[in-house]
Amino acid sequence: MTTTQSHRVQTHEPILELNDVSVTFSMDRGDSRVVDEVTLDIERNEVLGIVGESGSGKSMLASALLDAVVEPGTVSGEITFNPQDEPSVSVLALSKGDRQRFRWEQIAMVFQGAMSSFNPVRTIRTHFVETLSAHDEDIETGMERAAGILEDLYLDPERVLDSYPHELSGGMKQRALIALSLVLEPEVLVMDEPTAALDLLMQRSIIGLLEEIKTQYDLTIVFITHDLPLVADIADRVAVLYAFEIAELGPTEEILSEPAHPYTRLLLKSTPNLQAPIESMQPVDGAAPDPVNVPDGCSFHPRCPLADETCRASDPDPAAVSARHTADCHHYEAAPGAIPIEPPEMDEIQRTPSHHDAADEPLLSLDELEVHFETEQKGLGLFSDPETVNAVDGVSLDIYENDVVVLVGESGCGKTTLGKAAIGLQEPTGGAVQYRGQDIYGDGSDVDATDRFTADEIRRALQIVHQDPGSSLNPHHRISAILEAPLKQWYDDLDGNDRQSRILGLLEHVGMTPADDYIDRYPHQLSGGEQQRVALIRAMLLNPELILADEPISALDVSLRVEMMDLLIQLQETFNTSYLFVSHDLSNARYIAEKTGGRIGVVYLGELVEIGPPEQIIHDPQHPYTRALRWATPQLTYRDDRAQTPPIRTIDIPDPTDPPSGCRYHTRCPQARAVCAESVPETKPGSDAVGHDVACYRVQDDHDYWEDDPIDDADLD
């Protein structure tokens, strides 16, 4: 890109100035340019969000800011720190010793995955002391400062500092990592997907904390993420990366409400969220380019509906959309008209909710299902009872034919275990799972011999699609072998040619053409979306009645999610299967449930606390936990109430080996009263809607709950 104009803002004071910064890797296939001549100013005390799909070069850009690109990558261009004041620092020209001091003292970085950023055999304190002594700081004052930062992040410094990493939860580790990066009082904090491994509630809470930390410690934050809604909550400005360069840069509000670049517009439309009607969510066609082979001209033109000869021939320069808003597009003026973000006016589409009478026989029926795990005994374990984790506790749920149930909850709440117990992969410790009236873990003696299903029939009827498509396909087999395995097992009458034509037909059906090229490939030669399609076909080949889809889209890029969900829904309609969906994301849950007329079930610490149609769960949640989840789900609109206090008491989940008494949510529930700590609320209808059930005293107008005193925080300690 030949930059004459640049993504610069004249009136503000920049703290970092990037000039034509490129990162290049030499590979067998040619030079791979993973950051392509980026020119950008980062202003003092702003939060700059950098958004891009995986493989768009955003992490490399972050590493380049610290001159920390790993070998054999090379950084070229110019990065100036503090360009207006003395002493200004040219980052790429620093000597080794200077660079070491510059990192962490001026710019600190918080890496993705707090789990692997700490050495597991050292306490958190050691990490702090090491960082301080490596920079010749006074340990004592440094540790005092560390304790102060930890406290500001709502952590107990004494406890956290003396813990080993494994003793802290993911969210606590992530906060400790932020504290560690702040201990040398840097001016700029670069955060690379700092919340990607965390739950929604924790994510939102940390975003809120960042806001406080930023003002308190006078920071400039560069926040890198693939999640556009998330960054909308914190960033002052957003830079959208596409194909290793900045496609659009502007204030968050403008980027969200009137983006000018076609890519940003399409990306916004493809992002599932809670407000927009689901009809307006459309996938972005095509795929992001390979770094070795970026298209000539505008790199987005192969996927752009507005592309013409100019776009193919010349690379657009940043065009000023407004004073602080630039877009690298020849047609930025035409884009808003051509790609409307507002949903087209349409009549309220009457979706037929999968209406199930009590008379219908459920396909699968869970009855007071319990799965308890015994953990390893501590010490010698001779005198103590082993601790049990109640992963699933007393869940009852009916799934009908052509039904869709989406389970939502934080990680570790037992939603996946519940799903696996339902399809016969995890033997429950209590309760029963019945497939058309027959216990799937029994020997079939509970039903008449005439109606009995064989173990094989039940096995085939209940299938699974895993979260990580990379590990759900054996890397040592070709696609043809992977898809042939179920056919060989269950269809004796098919010979090799029949199997091959069926596989070819299926691959074409899910849009993988030319199919006979795909069948000879190994899984590593497919993209994540294609791998997931193969895994989906494999489950479908058995013609199952119910598929457990365990977060099937969370490993995919944002722009691919809607497409994959549409495919799942389309296959459901074609093959009359039911889905049991597991998701940690309320927006995705809503998309699936609303489009199929299914239900959303909210799981908290092994219990189903609320279940109902998406309209009720999203727009009129009854359980306080559902409300907290809804609060935590990032929105695509610019919110003025960003610093709003969370509707929960504590952001950390209680220890699952020692779950709270009574209603398990009472320790975090702002509306908890005395009775909540004593007895477990039974499930009652939450509204007039069919199938909306809530396990909370608040839906029972005549319950003693209303006379009780609210619990205050002191009671809980």
Partner 1 sequence: MTDRDHRETLTDALDGTCTDGGTPTPFETVSQVTETREDKFRNVYDTYVRAPLSIVWGDWRARIGFAIILCYLLMGTVGTVVIEPTAPAEGPALAQPFETMDYPLGTTDMGRDLFSQVVHSTQEMLKMITAGALFSVTLGTVVGAVAGYKGGWVDTVLSAITDVFINIPGFPLVMVLVAIFEMGENPYMIGILLSVASWSGLARAIRSQVLTLRHESFVESARTMGLPTHVIVSKEIVPPLLPYIVINLTNAARRVIFEAAALYYLGILPFEDLNWGVTLQLAYEAEAHARPQALHWFLVPMAAITGISIGLILLGQSLDRVFNPRVRARHEKTTADDDTLEATTH
Q: List interacting residues with partner 1 (CB under 8 A).
A: 423, 425, 456, 459-460, 462-464, 466-468, 471-477, 485-486, 489-490, 494-498, 500-502, 504-506, 508-509, 516-517, 520-525, 535, 538-543, 574-575
> How far separated are the first and last CA of the chain, in Å rounded?
59
The upper half-sphere exposure of residue 210, i.e. CA atoms within 13 Å in the direction of its Cβ, equals 33
Cα distance between residue 673 and residue 712, in whole Å: 9
Give the closest residue to 331 by CA, choosing from 300, 374, 366, 368.
Answer: 300
Cis previous bond, 72, omega within 30: yes
Confirm if 371 and 418 have CB atoms less than 8 A apart.
yes
Cβ closest to partner 1, residue 153 vs residue 534: 534
DSSP structure string for 457-519: HHHHHEEEE-S-HHHHS-TTS-HHHHHHHHHHHH-TT--HHHHHHHHHHHHHHTT--SHHHHT
256 contacts 232 by C-beta, under 8 angstroms: yes
- Beta bridge partner(s), residue 107: 103, 188
Shorter beta-carbon distance to partner 1: residue 466 or 627: 466
Minimum Å gap between C-beta 545 and partner 1 is: 13
Measured from the CB atom, the residue of 454 and 645 that comes closer to partner 1 is 454
**Which CB sits closer to partner 1, 316 or 486?**
486
Residue 492 class from Cβ within 10 Å (0-12 exposed, 13-18 middle, 19+ buried)?
exposed
Q: Closest separation between CB of residue 200 and partner 1, Å? A: 23
What values do phi and psi take at 405, rounded to 5?
-120, 125
3-state secondary structure of 533: helix
Distance, in Å, from the CA atom of 572 to the CA atom of 596, rounded to the nearest integer, reads 9
Nearer to partner 1, 68 or 569 (CB): 569
Classify 627 as helix, strand or coil: helix
The Cα 217–Cα 186 span in angstroms is: 9
Nearer to partner 1, 91 or 462 (CB): 462
User: Which residue, 486 or 686, has its beta carbon nearer to partner 1?
Assistant: 486
Q: Kindly state the smallest distance separating residue 458's Cβ from partner 1, in Å.
A: 9
Nearer to partner 1, 303 or 460 (CB): 460
Residue among 527 and 700 whose Cβ is closer to partner 1:
527
Comparison of 207 and 421: residue with beta carbon closer to partner 1: 421
Quote the CA–CA distance of 21 and 37 in Å, as a whole number.
5
Residue among 97, 99, 90 nearest 16 (CA): 90
CB of 622 to partner 1, least distance (A): 35
| Phi, psi values for residue 447, rounded to 5° | -125, 165
When the beta carbons of 154 and 522 are compared against partner 1, the nearer one is: 522
- Compare residues 262 and 486 and give the one whose CB is closer to partner 1: 486
Least CB distance from residue 453 to partner 1, whole Å?
Answer: 13
User: Residue 111 or residue 490: which is nearer to partner 1 going by CB?
Assistant: 490
Smallest distance, partner 1 to C-beta of residue 318, A: 40
Q: How far is the CB of 595 from partner 1 (least distance, A)?
A: 21
* Beta carbon of residue 471, minimum distance to partner 1 (angstroms, whole number): 5
Q: How far is the CB of 522 from partner 1 (least distance, A)?
A: 4
How many residues make up the chain in this entry?
A: 717
The residue (of 230 and 462) whose beta carbon lies closer to partner 1 is 462
One-letter identity of residue 493: D
Long-range contacts of 158-164 (CB under 8 A, 24+ apart): 160/124, 161/123, 161/124, 161/125, 161/128, 162/123, 162/124, 162/125, 163/123, 163/124, 164/120, 164/121, 164/122, 164/123, 164/124
* Residue linked to tokens 């058995």: 542
The distance of closest approach from Cβ of residue 487 to partner 1 in the complex, given in angstroms and rounded to an integer, is 10
Nearer CB in complex with partner 1: 4/454: 454
Closest C-alpha to 264, from 558, 638, 588: 558
CB within 8 Å of 40: residues ≥ 6 apart:
6, 7, 18, 21, 239, 246, 249
SS3 of 219-259: the string is: CEEEEEECCHHHHHCCCCEEEEEECCEEEEEEEHHHHHHCC
The token pair at 611 is: 């279940």
Cβ 153 vs Cβ 178: under 8 Å:
yes
How far from chain centre, in Å, is Cα 706?
37
